[in-house]
Amino acid sequence: MDDPGCSSASDDYESDTPSNPDEVFFDVFEEGFTWTVSGTGSPWGIRTDHVLDGSFSAGVKKTGARKPSFMEHAIDLSVYSVATFEYARKLVGLDTADDFSAEYLDGGWHSVETLGKGRENGGFVIKSFNIPTTVTAIRFMCEAGAVSEGCWVDNVRIVAE
């Protein structure tokens, strides 16, 4: 707390100026679905079967074998110098032929997280990644072959300063 930029005992921001990041984007899927969907598999959409907070999340089940499904959202970070991409994800039943990824667009698509080949988690896992401020979009991909397999995301957030 002797650090002039420190706001609490748990503040680990290493600057003498207090950090007040802007919430550039936040979607908890409670007010509809504003994402662009694409791919050859079943499309992502609003779901109620696996939710972290509130009543809704975004998800997709059984996209089909070797049929990825994408959901994408445009982002403008051009006035910022640092940014963080955060989300909660839940993967159910993914086996050796299935995949999940979270990516950002910066001249090309870059993955912050790629999981598959038997990956599953029992509940939502919260993830956070630093991303460049030249990013123009974020997206999630799921490829799940069986009816019991799927991917869900909730609390998607971009903060920047």
Tell me: pLDDT of 16 over 90.
Answer: no
Show Cβ contacts of residue 48 under 8 Å, excluding neighbours closer than 6 positions.
55, 56, 57
Answer yes or no: is pLDDT of 99 > 60: yes
Could you tell me the domains of the chain?
Answer: 22-160 (2.60.120.260)
Neighbours of 7 (CB within 10 A): 12
Q: What is the mean pLDDT of the chain?
A: 89
CA angle 84, 131, 7 (to 5 degrees): 30
Burial class of residue 97 (count of CB atoms within 10 Å of its CB; 0-12, 13-18, 19+): middle
Tokens 């990644």 belong to: 129
Q: How far is the C-alpha of 87 from the C-alpha of 101, rounded, in Å?
A: 12
Q: How many other C-beta atoms lie within 10 A of the C-beta of residue 52?
A: 20
Mean pLDDT of 62-89: 96
pLDDT, tens digit (0-9, with 9 covering 90-100), for 22-53: 999 999 999 999 999 999 999 999 999 999 99
> What is the pLDDT, as a whole number, of residue 6?
55
What is the model's pTM? 0.86
Give the span between the Cα atoms of 28 and 66, in whole angstroms: 28
